[in-house]
Amino acid sequence: MVAEKTPPTHAPMNQFSVNGNELIIGGMPLTHLAARVGGTPFYAYDRSLLSQRVAELRKILPALVKLHYAMKANPLPALVAHMAGLVDGIDVASGGELKVALHAGADPHEISFAGPGKREAELRQAVAAGILLNVESFREIGLLAGISKELGLPARVAVRVNPDFELKSSGMKMGGGPKQFGIDAEQVPDALAAIGRQGLAFEGFHLFAGSQNLKAEAIVEAQCKSYELALRLSKDAPAPVRFLNLGGGFGIPYFPGEQRLDLAPIGANLAALIERAKTELPEAQFVIELGRYLVGEAGIYVTRILDRKVSRGQTFLVVDGGLNHHLAASGNFGQVIRKNYPVMIGNKMHAVEKEIASVVGPLCTPLDLLVDRMELARAEPGDLVVIFQSGAYGASASPQGFLGHPAVVEVLV
């Protein structure tokens, strides 16, 4: 006889408490929050969970590592302002994000700007603001030389390196092989020479190998390789390395079978690298930049059931928001195979009656699938479907104009 294998389950969403049948967020029962927001659908982000996350990281990472928030994960101005008070710096990816980071009160000295296609106007904004530019091409170096002269301010630059290795088992690879990001490691000595010739203020290196990684050993290996590469490239640098941004890539569990990342080995490895750097790169400040790891688990997407239909034996819960607000949960934001996010009926957390149901959004396309046949509390129109792990790459990463439904509301609670 073959033992029946139990299917993998989602990691427990125990960052949130439950009172009776209600999920609690920001200290409030979900139905109460929905009334306060004024309707559904909405995203809610819990401030205390954001603060707690940063505090936990600080406990494990060496005190000398600077922690940056990569705000493309969630650019809601109120949330960025909250994060700016917790982390050491903000990483932006556009002139628009730079404006939000400055409004949020982030120290310009600790803001950095990466992105493969920076417009001349964005480069000028960045130089005038006094932030660090992660240069990604020879074109940018040339433009920055002109802007520095025009403003009488030498641009602060770090070289974003496209490394000659990849971050293994990553959800999204952003370095290694041919890439649009950064300058290939082989060309970096020439870029460093150009930066020196043009009189730009060289401050360091930025290496970002990949994203959404749940394997500590893979992250440790990438950080060691990044350090070695930066050390090697520093021999050709026109000035000492002051910032060494080793990227991030820390993932969170989204799908069945995924476990939370073990930070302890990463903290220990960073401590060892910092020890080495004391003699090898004595002026270097280590930076790690995290997006989803800081904010993803603190957010939920809440949508209300409009209709309940049974079609040829399969139950569909039709809700008032879908891929137009939460593209990632529909499986259309970079996933190769569609899998379900952790989802629960937020006002029936302890319901005894369960059923297998699919949750679909209101859009007239079969892509608008939020849950594909999952065990949920038996739900009716009016009940609230909660999608967890939704604090990152949600509203701003979704096609809100698609099909002309109302825009989603976001609240920080």
Ligand X SMILES: *Cc1c(COP(=O)(O)O)cnc(C)c1O
Task: Please give the residue ranges that form the binding site for ligand X (CB under 6 A).
Answer: 70, 72-73, 91, 114, 208, 211-212, 248, 289-293, 392
Taking the complex as a whole, how short is the minimal distance between the CB of residue 367 and ligand X, in angstroms?
23
Q: Which lies closer to ligand X via its Cβ, residue 22 or residue 91?
A: 91
Which residue has tokens 């939000």? 100
Q: Which lies closer to ligand X via its Cβ, residue 34 or residue 329?
A: 329
Taking the complex as a whole, how short is the minimal distance between the CB of residue 287 and ligand X, in angstroms?
10
Q: Which lies closer to ligand X via its Cβ, residue 245 or residue 340?
A: 245
Q: Which lies closer to ligand X via its Cβ, residue 289 or residue 368?
A: 289
The Cα–Cα gap between 111 and 107 comes to 7
**If you ran DSSP here, which 8-state letter would residue 213 be given?**
B
Q: Which residues, 6 or more positions from 270, have their beta carbon under 8 angstroms from its beta carbon? A: 61, 62, 65, 223, 246, 286, 288
Strands (E), 271-353: 285-290, 299-311, 314-319, 343-345
Q: Which lies closer to ligand X via its Cβ, residue 143 or residue 207?
A: 207
Give the residue from 140, 180, 172 showing the smallest Cα distance to 158: 140
Taking the complex as a whole, how short is the minimal distance between the CB of residue 212 and ligand X, in angstroms?
5
- Beta 65-70 vs 89-92: how paired, if at all? parallel
Taking the complex as a whole, how short is the minimal distance between the CB of residue 114 and ligand X, in angstroms?
4
SS in 3 state form for 214-241? Answer: CCHHHHHHHHHHHHHHHHHHHCCCCCCC
Phi, psi of 203 (to 5 degrees): -125, -10
Q: Which lies closer to ligand X via its Cβ, residue 89 or residue 248?
A: 248
Taking the complex as a whole, how short is the minimal distance between the CB of residue 22 and ligand X, in angstroms?
30
Residue number with the smallest Cβ distance to ligand X:
291
Which residue has tokens 């090898």? 280
Taking the complex as a whole, how short is the minimal distance between the CB of residue 126 and ligand X, in angstroms?
15
